[in-house]
């Protein structure tokens, strides 16, 4: 099993391989990518690549690991507090998520593909979305005492709203080659925040709800 | 290029092959399915299968074609009129969609996978979702004179809400093996309708909005 290198040169080579891998996965997709394609892109021998990564799965898992944590952080750091100004706090969170998603749309598109063919990536995808749902449902319970929305379990409504943000990001950015009319990230954030806010806090988005 | 058979026996064989193909695609996924796997499942020779379908793509396209139209019809037939009782009309539409999605969750899961590896199925998936968005945005413009929602283009909000229903159905039903606590279709329809209704018509879901 390859180890993460400890020398500066080793770390530089690993970073170069990851950046080459990102270009190949983004161009050829998960199923279409081969280890030899990545070695060629990196200008390195196949044996050299295998010294750093055990196989294609290992290589893609390394690419996804950082994105996963960064997306979660990007959507959790808000300038406003949810209990004081829910609309602005949600807009901050969604802007953070969508900006980061946009920057990593090649990896996110490949992750959806990988998740549909490999159980390991399906589990990563599932864990990614479950963290978001649980965090939001917990905040609604703790800060607003919200267990239900109109008689429906708050966790289910949070799941549906998380699906809305996840799939909108996928459609608008991961599949951006299909868009006739691209939507800027700031407008996308307003659209998903409008739906999100109306679902939990009603149509009035003033700062005193 | 294989033709659709005209004899009763030929049509029966074709239907038997499609039902075998459905079982294999549902079990092995799009990438994992092979023509010989389908022939074995059907108890038929590989040559026999190729007389009916040109290749795996052709076989899966035949499976998807019906589902596509039925989903669109199932979510368009409503007992209530949107302009008289938006909540109930949306609930009818979502119940129709989710019921049909649930019955075809194996095909829908395989379609998401196929769409991520084959341009032909990506186009089918895109067309499926675009029809839903266009239909809903057109109704909002025609029946409610709604061009904007809170200053945002109605088509963008309709896209986000369509993403919510599509991905919730995928998470809850196409990936039902991951659910610890399955959600019944009638509750799922209430959840997505709540989000949908609040986004366009506000939180009050009485029949006179």
pLDDT at B186: 97
Contacts of A185 in chain B (CB under 8 A): none
Contacts of A190 in chain B (CB under 8 A): 152
What digits encode the pLDDT tens for the residues A69-101?
Answer: 888 888 888 889 988 999 999 999 999 999 999
Average pLDDT rounded to a whole number, residues B163-174: 97
Contact status of A113 with chain B (Cβ, < 8 Å): yes
Contact status of A179 with chain B (Cβ, < 8 Å): no
Reported as a pLDDT band with limits 50, 70 and 90, residue B206 is: low
Q: b/e for B109-122, b at 16 or more Cβ within 10 A?
A: bbbbbbbbbbeebb
pLDDT at A207: 47
Q: Do B157 and A29 touch (CB under 8 A)?
A: no
Contacts of A181 in chain B (CB under 8 A): none
Q: Do B160 and A192 touch (CB under 8 A)?
A: yes
pLDDT at A36: 98
Q: Which residue, among A127, A164, A166, A196, would best test binding to B if mutated, counting the most B CBs under 10 Å from its CB?
A: A164
Reported as a pLDDT band with limits 50, 70 and 90, residue B205 is: low
Contacts of A202 in chain B (CB under 8 A): 198, 202-203
Contacts of B157 in chain A (CB under 8 A): 191, 194-195
* Domain coordinates in residue numbering, chain B: 8-54, 65-201
Average pLDDT, chain B: 92
ipTM value > 0.90: yes
Q: Which fold has domain B65-201?
A: Tetracycline Repressor; domain 2 (1.10.357)
Contact status of B182 with chain A (Cβ, < 8 Å): no
Residue A30 has pLDDT above 50, yes or no: yes
Nearest-CA distance A161 → chain B (Å): 6
Q: Which CATH class is domain A58-201?
A: mainly alpha
Contacts of B159 in chain A (CB under 8 A): 168, 171-172, 191
Lowest mean pLDDT among A199-208, B39-48, B169-178: A199-208
Checking A124-131 for CB contacts under 8 A at 24+ apart, the result is: A124/A61, A124/A64, A124/A68, A126/B175, A126/B178, A127/A68, A128/A68, A128/A71, A128/A72, A129/A162, A129/A166, A129/B171, A131/A72
d(CA B35, CA B46): 7
Q: Do A163 and B160 touch (CB under 8 A)?
A: no
pLDDT at A69: 83
Tokens read off for A34: 């081969």
Pick the CATH number of A8-54 from 2.40.40.20, 3.20.20.80, 1.10.3720.10, 1.10.10.60: 1.10.10.60
Nearest CA in chain A to B153: A191
Q: Do A164 and B159 touch (CB under 8 A)?
A: no
Residue closest to B104 by CA, chosen among B22, B189, B193: B22
Contact status of A183 with chain B (Cβ, < 8 Å): yes
Reported as a pLDDT band with limits 50, 70 and 90, residue A208 is: very low
Residue B55 has pLDDT above 90, yes or no: yes
Per cent of chain A over pLDDT 70 is: 97
Q: With contact defined as beta carbons under 8 Å apart, do A139 and A76 qualify?
A: no
């Amino acid at each position: 099993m390859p180890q993460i290198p400890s020398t500066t040169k080793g770390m530089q080579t690993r970073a170069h391989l990851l950046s080459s891998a990102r270009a190949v996965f983004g161009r050829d997709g998960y199923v279409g990518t081969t280890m030899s394609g990545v070695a060629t892109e990196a200008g390195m021998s196949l044996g050299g690549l295998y010294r750093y990564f055990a196989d294609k799965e290992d290589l893609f898992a390394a690419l996804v690991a950082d994105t996963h944590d960064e997306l979660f952080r990007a959507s959790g750091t808000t300038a406003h507090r949810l209990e004081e100004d829910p609309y602005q706090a949600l807009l901050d969170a969604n802007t953070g998520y969508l900006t980061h998603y946009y920057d990593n749309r090649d990896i996110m598109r490949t992750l959806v593909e990988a998740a549909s063919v490999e159980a390991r990536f399906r589990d990563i995808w599932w864990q990614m979305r479950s963290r978001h749902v649980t965090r939001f449902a917990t905040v609604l319970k703790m800060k607003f005492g919200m267990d239900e929305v109109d008689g429906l379990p708050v966790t289910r409504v949070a799941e549906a709203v998380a699906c809305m943000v996840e799939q909108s990001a996928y459609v608008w950015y991961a599949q951006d080659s299909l868009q006739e009319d691209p939507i800027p990230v700031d407008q996308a954030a307003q659209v998903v925040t409008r739906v999100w806010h109306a679902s939990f806090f009603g149509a009035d988005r003033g700062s005193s709800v």
